[in-house]
Amino acid sequence: MKLSAAAFLLLVACAASQSTAVKPWRIDVTTSGGITGRGNGGWGIDSDGKVSVRSMGGRSCTFDATPAERERFDALLVNARPNSWKDSYVPEDNCCDRIEYRMTVVRAGEERKIVWIDDPLPMPKDLQAIADAVTGAGSLRTEYGGRCN
């Protein structure tokens, strides 16, 4: 019985530790390349909900994410396994004015840097989900630019 109780407590503790992201955390993505060579901007968000945006033209702004936006990134980081990610998802043939993305993920002081380009090599689902949340449809890149006007 004591063993069952101990196993139950361990299970509950593990489940609780997986329900929230390790804090503090920060995700930053910068870009370069493309036709202009300057990329298409940069975006960042941290566990306090501070969002930073740098437009393609170089303008910068900061603002606060909504609670739902912060929860989205918390959920992505709970499921993230950065130690399984490669440093680069750039294919050998990276020809022809593609945008290069450089992402830095910092969780509780541990930093992980990853690079990819438009049409990258296949990325793990957890990494792809974070990349999409920052640069894809409905992302920091597409949704937050309007808040900087």
Name, in order, each residue with C-beta under 8 angstroms of 142's C-beta and a sequence gap of 6 or more. Answer: 136
Q: What's the mean per-residue pLDDT of the chain?
A: 86
pLDDT tier at 37 (50, 70, 90 boundaries)?
confident
Residue 55 contacts residue 145 (beta carbons within 8 Å): yes
Residue 117 contacts residue 33 (beta carbons within 8 Å): yes
Residue 11 in tokens? 């299970």
Distance between start and end Cα atoms, the chain? 63
Whether the predicted pLDDT of 77 surpasses 90: yes
Closest residue by Cα to residue 26 from 41, 59, 42, 48: 48
Predicted local distance difference test score (pLDDT) of residue 20:
79
Q: For the chain, which residues make up each domain, given as ranges?
A: 22-148
Residue 36 in tokens? 């202009």
Lowest mean per-residue pLDDT among 16-20, 21-25, 101-105 = 16-20
What top-level class would CATH report for the domain 22-148? alpha beta
Query: 103-125: b or e for each residue (b if 16 or more CB lie within 10 Å)?
Result: bebbbeeeeeebebbbebeebee
Task: Report the percentage of the chain scoring pLDDT > 90.
Answer: 64
Residue 25 contacts residue 105 (beta carbons within 8 Å): yes
| 138 HSE (CA, 13 A, CB side) | 5
Q: What is the pLDDT of residues 95-107, one digit of tens each?
A: 888 999 999 999 9
